[in-house]
Homo-oligomer: A and B are copies of this chain.
């Protein structure tokens, strides 16, 4: 299951969650829910926040590498998350929306403020919130077959994970509109062209092997230099990113507290399927 090269010091498997492996000063986080296309349960959101927070504080961790087990990197939010909640009364809906906003705000902040190098290794499919989340990573490696889709707005949802700010910057407004509003796919080749991803590989093995080398190189650089290297670049945009994040959560709160949330999502999903 694990595809790392080199000695594994420690392996922790969390059911429906993540495999954590420490290799020298690199923490490898493998999204592990292969039978459900690595979709995120609510528990996995919380686990991922925990993993990032712990890694930020852990002196034994200089670099965090994220990859996906199985067929694809991740298919995003598990739609079944929505059906966990009774949303009959307005009070219940507001409660749900408030809690969901709190959760996503925590995830946003965990990524936004993560001080150490964050590397993503993506293969096959990257769906939903993972797509904009990778824009906050420090390096993204992809396989040739990799593609990215952000269906949120197509599904009647809103921008997520600072996409309203990062995507126009990376892609220009119109391409960002194509990707986020029109739900257009971003293929690996174009991800490289736009600088969303930095390196492309024929196979997963090549990708992981090269990512491993990158981690080793980073571990050898002066720790504070690397931290400040990332921090200062992030600082320059922190205020705008924070504001964008709050605007997005405001819109999402309205969406998540609306009546018939699940029915509307299902309706849009069927419309999208009929387009294929």
**Which residues of chain A have a CB within 8 Å of any CB of chain B?**
117, 135-140, 153-159, 164-165, 167-178, 180-182, 194-198, 214, 217-218, 220-222, 224-226, 228-230, 232-237, 240, 243-244, 247-248, 251, 255, 264, 268, 271, 275
Alpha-carbon separation in the docked complex, A45 to B154 (Å): 34
Q: Can you list 5 residue pairs at the A/B interface with Cβ under 8 Å?
A: A153-B225, A153-B226, A168-B236, A178-B198, A194-B195
**CB-based contact A195/B221 at 8 Å:** no
A134, closest chain B residue (CB): B174
Alpha-carbon separation in the docked complex, A255 to B197 (Å): 31
Copies of this chain per assembly: 2
Q: In the complex, what residues of B have CB within 8 A of residue A155's CB? A: 225
Q: Are A221 and B169 CB-contacts (below 8 A) given A158-B228, A232-B159, A247-B232?
A: no
Alpha-carbon separation in the docked complex, A164 to B227 (Å): 12
**CB-based contact B174/A232 at 8 Å:** no
Nearest-neighbour CB distance to chain B for A241, whole angstroms, equals: 9
